[in-house]
Amino acid sequence: MKIVCRCEDVTEEEIIEAIDQGYTTLEELKRHLRVGTGPCQGRTCMKIIEKILAKKLGKNIDELKKTTVRPPLKPVPLYIYGDEDEE
């Protein structure tokens, strides 16, 4: 058992099974398995998932449609949104 998405605890077998069930885009895999939605926002796992999907579909990674990226891309401390001079 090879864990691919450590944040959401998703294995390579689960990803391959989902692709076999018809989830054949990165967005569908993300919505179905929650891969790429953890604290790292897919920075750790999405490249690996792209490789698995491309291999299963017999496509080049560049042919795959990328997922929607929503900010913030990195966790930021809340004081950034506040006024430092304000008490």
* Window of 39-47, 53-61, 64-72, 74-82 that interacts with ligand FES by CB under 6 A: 39-47
* Window of 24-32, 36-44, 63-71, 79-87 that interacts with ligand FES by CB under 6 A: 36-44
Q: Are the C-beta atoms of 33 and 15 separated by less than 8 Å?
A: yes
Token duo for residue 72: 């913030």
Q: Which residues contact 56 (CB under 8 A, 6 or more apart)?
A: 16, 19
Whole-number Å distance between alpha carbons of 24 and 41 = 20
* Site map 2..21 versus ligand FES, x via CB under 6 A: ---xxxx-------------
Which residues are near ligand FES by CB under 6 A? 5-8, 35-38, 40, 42, 44-45
